[in-house]
Copies of this chain bind each other. A is one copy, B any other.
Amino acid sequence: MAIAEITVVPSGVGPSVSDYVVRAHQIIRKHQSVKHQLTPMGTILEGELDDILALIREVHNATFDEKVTRVLTLVKIDDRRDKVLTMQGKVDSVSSKLSS
Contact = CB atoms under 8 A, between A and B. Distances in A.
> In the complex, which range does the number of interface residues on chain A fall in?
35 or more
Interface string A68-81: 01111111111111
A30 interface: no
A5 B56 CA distance: 15
A39 interface: yes
* Copies held by the complex: 4
A72 B22 contact: no
A89 B44 CA distance: 18
A25 B87 contact: no
Given A39-B39, A39-B91, A91-B40, A19 B97 contact: yes
Contacts of A56: 53
